[in-house]
Structure 1
């Protein structure tokens, strides 16, 4: 399902912004940790869509961990980086596997 891939790539963009050292921390503190709660819900929704489409779930799982432990300054930043990388790779692989499956169905 392409929706899970889109959600993963969009989520990786959010994680990229939150992983920028001064900017991400400022956004999180200025909004009273609301971005972490939003990202937690976002990753849970992405996990549900990925699970229902039988797609890999390791990207959203790393995102959930990053959102729950993200309030710790140094560790949170590194986890947001890890979530960014995992979600980006997971999203690209979701699109690649979907594209291969469509090509096989046509042939």
Structure 2
């Protein structure tokens, strides 16, 4: 399994955890917005590796946008939810492509 695929799974799970109503927002607020910066960086790394491995990278771009716009409470929750779903589907497709090769 390629490292970009593993990062898609990890970022998808992290986005899903941040999408938990109230708990995700509380975690971000009490951490001083640090998780959003961390997620921005990890999405950027995943994007670069996905491009290098000729994999789809739409979830990583959506993750970058989410990390920037997630400072808006309700919009952030919705974006984390959508991004988690997209990244987990993308991770599943990449896993299937890795096994096919």
**TM-score w.r.t. structure 2 length?**
0.97
Match of 1:35 in 2: 35
What's the CA shift string for 1:47-77, capped at 9, x where partnerless? 0000000000011111111101000000000
Q: Which secondary structure does the structure 1 equivalent of 2:54 belong to?
A: coil
Q: Which residue of 2 aligns with 1:64?
A: 64
Task: Say yes or no: does 1:24 pair with 2:31.
Answer: no
Q: Does 1:54 align with 2:34?
A: no
Give distance in 1, aligned partners of 2:7 and 2:72.
Answer: 25
Superposed, which structure 2 residues align to 1:95-106 within 5 Å?
A: 95-101=95-101
Mapped to 2, the partners of 1:81 and 1:38 lie a distance apart of 17
Give the C-alpha shift of residue 27 in structure 1: 0.4
Which structure 1 residue ranges, 4+ long, deviate > 3 Å from structure 2?
Answer: none
SS of the equivalent of 2:22 reads helix
1:12-55 residue CA offsets vs partner (Å, 9 max, x unmatched): 11101100111000000001101000000000000000000000
Q: Which one has the bigger helix percentage?
A: 1
For 2:88, the equivalent position in structure 1 comes to 88
* Unaligned residue ranges in structure 1 (runs of 5+): 102-107
Larger radius of gyration: 1
Report the TM-score when normalising by structure 1.
Answer: 0.91
